[in-house]
């Protein structure tokens, strides 16, 4: 039995644990104050150009390559035309299992950060999944972003003339014609765009 699950048998131990919890709470409050004070500075430094956003999708990233190779080894050998859809579902499951964390500020996490924290926000997880699908040899994979009052994000990919939309935070995967999937998934969004490591496309809104 590990220490954290041992029953507390002495009042001294209880007091010590309570003090540790109070210290942790104080540290969290301090970090929240720091974030709030430097929020504008942090968010300004995290602002991305279109080129920066495209560069976030990186199939050559070390963590992405490692995870893609782990998935490929399950097929012995991995043959794209035969195995990609099953591999994509495996990749989706890997990313879905990572905790979804809503950050208090706009802050981008790289795959190594996500794996270290075992968590990321929907955009971080979408970029990771898109990178992973490209590493699995599908170059028609995109992060799709819809903006209205908030931001809605998904990952799309094309395989054998069929488009798929995937929720990086849940289990949903739908397929069909791309225009119909965009309408179904993001019918409320006024501004919709997609991107990967090569392309950035405005689907709705923008300069229109």
142-192 pLDDT tens trace? 999 999 877 899 999 999 999 999 999 999 999 999 999 999 999 888 899
* pLDDT digit string, tens, across residues 120-135: 899 999 999 999 999 9
Rounded mean pLDDT, 95-104: 84
Share of the chain above pLDDT 90, in %: 56
Cβ 143 vs Cβ 126: under 8 Å:
yes
CA distance 1 to 7: 10
Residue whose entry in the numeric block shows the structure tokens 């540290």: 27
CA-wise closest residue to 153 among 188, 113, 186, 114? 186
What is the pLDDT at residue 29?
59
CA distance 2 to 196: 44
Q: Where are the beta strands (DSSP E) in the chain?
A: 99-100, 119-120, 141-147, 151-159, 162-166, 173-176, 191-195, 200-204
* pLDDT digit string, tens, across residues 11-37: 666 566 767 776 666 555 555 555 565
What is the pLDDT at residue 23?
66
When pLDDT is cut at 50, 70 and 90, the band that residue 54 belongs to is very high
Classify residue 168 by burial, with Cβ atoms within 10 Å: 0-12, 13-18, 19+.
Answer: buried
């Amino acid at each position: 039995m590990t220490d954290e699950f041992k029953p507390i048998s002495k009042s001294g131990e209880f007091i010590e644990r309570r003090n540790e919890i109070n210290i942790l709470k104080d540290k969290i409050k301090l970090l929240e104050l720091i974030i709030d004070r430097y929020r504008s500075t942090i968010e300004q430094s995290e602002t991305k150009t279109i080129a920066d956003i495209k560069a976030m999708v990186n199939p050559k990233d070390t963590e992405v390559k490692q995870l893609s190779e782990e998935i490929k080894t399950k097929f012995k050998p991995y043959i794209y035309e035969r195995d990609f859809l099953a591999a994509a579902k495996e990749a989706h499951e890997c990313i879905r299992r990572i905790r979804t964390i809503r950050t208090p500020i706009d802050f981008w996490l790289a795959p190594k950060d996500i794996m270290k924290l075992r968590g990321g926000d929907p955009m971080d997880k979408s970029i990771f999944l898109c990178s992973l699908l490209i590493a699995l040899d599908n170059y028609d994979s995109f992060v799709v972003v819809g903006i209205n009052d908030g931001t809605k994000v998904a990952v799309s990919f094309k395989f054998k003339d069929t488009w798929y939309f995937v929720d990086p935070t849940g289990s949903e995967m739908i397929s069909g014609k791309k225009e119909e999937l965009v309408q179904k998934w993001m019918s409320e969004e006024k501004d919709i765009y997609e991107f990967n490591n090569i392309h950035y496309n405005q689907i709705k809104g923008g300069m229109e």
